[in-house]
Amino acid sequence: MTTGNVQGMAANNANPAAFYFVNENKPENLAAATTRTFLGVKLECAQCHAHPFAKWSRDQFWEFAAFFAGIQPGNVRGGIQPIPNNNNPGPRTIKIPGTDKVVKAKFLSGQEPAWKDSDSSRMVLADWVTSAANPYFAKAAVDHIWGYFFGVSLLEPIMEPNDDSPITYPELLDEMARQFTEQNFDLKFLIKAIVHTEAYQRASTGLTRATKEDYNLFTRMPVRGLTPEQLFDSVAEATHYQQAGMSMNNNLQPFNNQPLTPRSQFLGKFTNQDRRHETQTSILQALFLMNGKFLAEQIKPENNGSFQTLLNSMDVSGKPLPTAKRVESLYVWVLARLPRPEETERLVRYIDSGGPLGDPRRAMSDVYWALLNSAEFMLNH
C-alpha cells in the first residue's frame, strides 16, 4: 500500500503511488488528505494554529504528519518509486515549520505507537486507522457510504461536527458505526443495512417543492446527479459503445503520454460534486453532451449497429416496424422504461413527419439525442 510507480497509471490498474503524487509527497498534505478521507476529520485547519472549531491542536496535526515524514519525491517520468519501501521504517519525527520543535508520530487519540525497529510508519498507521480502537474510521466509512446512496450524508459535509455542521442523526450514526465495527467493517453488511431502510426506499416526488430540510431529514429521496463516470458509462451503455481494444472503464492517463480516450476527455469536462443533490451542469458539460462529437457520432446509424438494426427492423409480416415500437425500444435503451402514451403520440408524430429536414430516419436520431440529454437520463431519481 505504500510503494508503487505512477508510470502507466490507469483506473483499471489503480496505483497507490498516485495518492502520494497528487499530494506532492508532502507530509502535511498527506496527513490532511488521509484524515479527511479515512477519518472524516478536517485536520488541516490545525496546520498553522489550533483548530477554530474542533479540539485539534497544531502539535496534533504535525504529530499525525510525522507518519509520512521521510518521503522523497521521485522522478515520475523515469519510473522511480516516489515513496520508500515498507522495509524502511522512516524517521517517525518531524519538525514543525517556523519553529525549533520536533514532534513524534502519534495517533489522533494522542497515543504513541509501540514501535518495533522494523515497523513501517505508514503500515503502523494503517493498522490503527482500520482497528476497532480507532473511534473515527467506522463513522467516516458509514457516512461516506450513506452519502453515496442518498447524495446527502448524515454529517454534511464530511468532517467533524460543529455549530455550522451538526450531525443530523447522531444516534443513528453511532449505532451504525458500532454495528459496522462489530461486523469487522463488512461493507456488504453496511450496504444491505442502508438500502433496507425506509429512508432509502422513499420516493423523490412529493406534494410540495423539496427543501433543504427534506433532504437533511431524509423525508424523501433526493434527486441525485450521476457522477461523471456513471454518466459516461450510461451513455456508453445506451449507445452500445465499446472502445476498441480497451475497457470502457479506462480513466485519465496523464502520466504515460498516451492519447486521451473518449472517456477521459468526457471526464475532463466534469468534476465530482460533494453535494450530488445540488448538481449543476456547466456550459462546457452541456456543450459536450449537446454538441460534442462523441455523442453525435454514437447516434449515427453507421456507428451504432443496434440503432441501425432498429431503423431497418421489420415486423413478423415483413413490413417496417411501426414507429411506436421503435420509440419504445429507444426508451428502454436510454431510460429503462416504456414511454407514456402521450410521449409515444408526440414522438411518433414528430418522427413520421420527418422533423425539420423531412427525414424520418434523421428524426429518429433526434429523439435518441433528446433522450440522452434529458434530465431523466442524467439524474438518479
Q: What string of H, E and C letters represents the secondary structure of 321-345?
A: CCHHHHHHHHHHHHHCCCCCHHHHH
pLDDT of residue 250: 47
pLDDT of residue 368: 94
List the beta strands (DSSP E) in 145-266. 224-225
pLDDT < 70 regions, the chain = 1-15, 51-54, 72-90, 156-168, 206-216, 243-260, 270-286, 381
Helix 305-312 with 360-372: angle, nearest 10 deg: 130
pTM: predicted TM-score of the whole model, two decimal places:
0.69
pLDDT of residue 165: 52
d(CA 268, CA 259): 13
pLDDT of residue 248: 43
pLDDT of residue 90: 67
d(CA 306, CA 323): 16
pLDDT of residue 381: 65
pLDDT of residue 166: 58
pLDDT of residue 81: 46
d(CA 344, CA 357): 20
CA angle 185, 129, 218 (to 5 degrees): 55
CA angle 123, 126, 131 (to 5 degrees): 130
pLDDT of residue 252: 43
CB burial string 200-230: b at 16+ within 10 A, e below: eeeeeeeeeebeeebbbebebbbbbbbbbbe
pLDDT of residue 245: 43
